[in-house]
Amino acid sequence: MRKENDIIIIGGGIIGGSILYSLLRDGFKGKIAVFEKKEALADESTALSAGGFRNIWSTVVNMKLTTFSIESFKNFKEETGISIGFEQRGYLFTYYRKEWERIIDFKKFWEESGVKTELLDPGRVEEMIPGLKAGLGHLDDDIVEMLSIEEIAGGLFGADCGIFNPTACAIAYFEKSQEDFSEIVEINKCAEVKKISIKDGKVEGILLENEEFIGAGKVVLAAGAFSRDLLERSGIPEEQNIPVVPVKRMLFLVNRPPIEGFEKNPMIIIDNGVYFHPEADDLLVGRAKPEQKPGYDYEMEKNYYVDEMNTYMQARIPGMEYCRIKNGWGGLYAVNTEDKNAIIGEHPEVPNLIFATGFSGHGVMEAPAIGKCISEKILKGSYISIPEVESLEFNRFKLGKLVKETIVI
Ligand SMILES: Cc1cc2nc3c(=O)[nH]c(=O)nc-3n(C[C@H](O)[C@H](O)[C@H](O)COP(=O)(O)OP(=O)(O)OC[C@H]3O[C@@H](n4cnc5c(N)ncnc54)[C@H](O)[C@@H]3O)c2cc1C
């Protein structure tokens, strides 16, 4: 007998999980099935992320999405009984003189948008981060020249920002959904979607790798960095496909330096885009490699940490020379090459195909809001909680209305 679902979600990451959870909480009564190609749920970008969340952005839509999501993470334990390691320990961005002027100008915009920020002078930055030197007096001139670093002119601190465990959150979305709505929810692992079956501008269902066809009223595409390739395999023409490519980003787990109080630090962004936060007894350190080419590459390059990251950490925080690498990994960003923002909502030519992809490195922190927005779009026809999300629909590429985000790590 032909299997039928009202909704199929492709992708068992935090975005697919949040959409499933929100639809059910919002009263969806139809049959809903999730298809995940791996053996485990939340085992791709969700598990490989740094787990950071922040509401400091240059675009209103990202501020709204993350503000909504932070509130949801905060209440998660009370709502579900499951801990997701939510820690509002703050984000501290440090800036050189020229960028600092721009940040000072931006402060009013954040205030008007209800985002809590604090501007710190270099002395306050040093007080907040034990061991950090805002000046350059401790360094030889040739090191300063070689690294091209400048004095820190100021720090931007966001007290509402922090870190959490995205895997725990994603798994909780799936488990709670299955537990509470077992009669209408089906979660399939080791189930790779070969193509989405589209006929006369309408999705009919999906075809699995084992050639099984499963019918669906709507298909939600939450396949992260794999989304564009799946659409191509499904016959979506190039000009109607999404501008999303997989791009490797690396994270390194290193020893924490022997500096008292370092374990209490917020997420810190220092010179050359190097960022880190305490993770249990260690530090989790990252930096986007500017010349990284698109592709399904997961290799951890140890030398990249030694040459391009640790040098900056040592220069800014003496003591970091003790931080040896313990572990590390590469994972994929689903990078929207047009404006570095998510692509949400209906495909203009295939309205029952719904996108939730292209998060460009900020998907876990937007997941609760995205789940809510997609649920509202499906159940009520429009984005009620965060109307600004309409600006992230696919049509923006055709209309030339890009939503350019400049604060991307
Ligand atoms: C190193 C790194 C650090 C990051 N740090 C942060 C951070 O601090 N904060 C933040 O907000 N974001 C961060 N991100 C980005 C974040 O991880 C992603 O935006 C987020 O995980 C997207 O969730 P997703 O569910 O869309 O994708 P995924 O977690 O990748 O889930 C998509 C799922 O779809 C499945 N799938 C794909 N194709 C198919 C198919 N054909 N059939 C069936 N299943 C399929 C995949 O196996 C996968 O499980 C980081 C990412 C990386 C790599």
The predicted-structure confidence for 283-316, as pLDDT tens digits, reads as follows: 999 999 999 999 999 999 999 999 999 999 999 9
Q: Is residue 21 part of a domain?
A: yes
Q: How far apart are CA 285 and CA 208, in angstroms?
A: 38
Tell me: do 331 and 342 sit in the same domain.
no
Q: CB 75: neighbour CB atoms within 10 A?
A: 12
**279 CA to centre of own chain:** 18
The number of domains in the chain is 2
Q: How far is the CA of 51 from the centre of ligand 1 (A)?
A: 11
Tell me: do 107 and 28 sit in the same domain.
no
pLDDT digits (tens, 9 = 90+) for 114-143: 999 999 999 999 999 999 999 999 999 999
Tell me: do 151 and 52 sit in the same domain.
no
- pLDDT of 322: 78
The four Cα atoms 302, 305, 311, 316 give a dihedral, to 10 degrees, of -150
Tell me: do 310 and 279 sit in the same domain.
yes
- pLDDT of 225: 98
pLDDT digits (tens, 9 = 90+) for 197-241: 999 999 999 999 999 999 999 999 999 999 999 999 999 999 999
Q: CB 158: neighbour CB atoms within 10 A?
A: 22
Tell me: do 190 and 329 sit in the same domain.
no
Residue 112: partners with Cβ closer than 8 Å, 6 or more residues away: none
- Site residues for ligand 1, CB cut-off 6 Å: 10-16, 35-38, 43-46, 48-52, 192-193, 222-224, 226, 230, 249, 251, 331-333, 357, 359, 361-365
- pLDDT of 409: 79
DSSP string for residues in 341-407: S-EEEE-SSSTTEEEEE--TT-SGGGHHHHHHHHHHHHHHSS--S-GGGGGGBTHHHHHT-------
Tell me: do 188 and 282 sit in the same domain.
no
Q: CB 126: neighbour CB atoms within 10 A?
A: 17
Residue 351: partners with Cβ closer than 8 Å, 6 or more residues away: 201, 202
Share of the chain above pLDDT 70, in %: 100
Mean pLDDT score of the chain: 96
Question: Please, where are the H alpha helices in 29-140?
Answer: 45-48, 60-74, 76-80, 97-112, 122-128
Choose the final residue of a domain: 285, 300, 335. 335
User: Is residue 2 over pLDDT 80?
Assistant: no
- Please state, in angstroms and as integers, the Cα–Cα distance from residue 348 to each residue in 228, 352, 372, following that order: 16, 9, 21
Angle between helix axes 166-180 and 14-25 (nearest 10 degrees) is 40
What tokens appear for 106 in the block? 């931006």
- pLDDT of 397: 96
Q: How far is the CA of 46 from the centre of ligand 1 (A)?
A: 4
Task: Give the domain range for residue 75.
Answer: 4-81+165-243+338-399
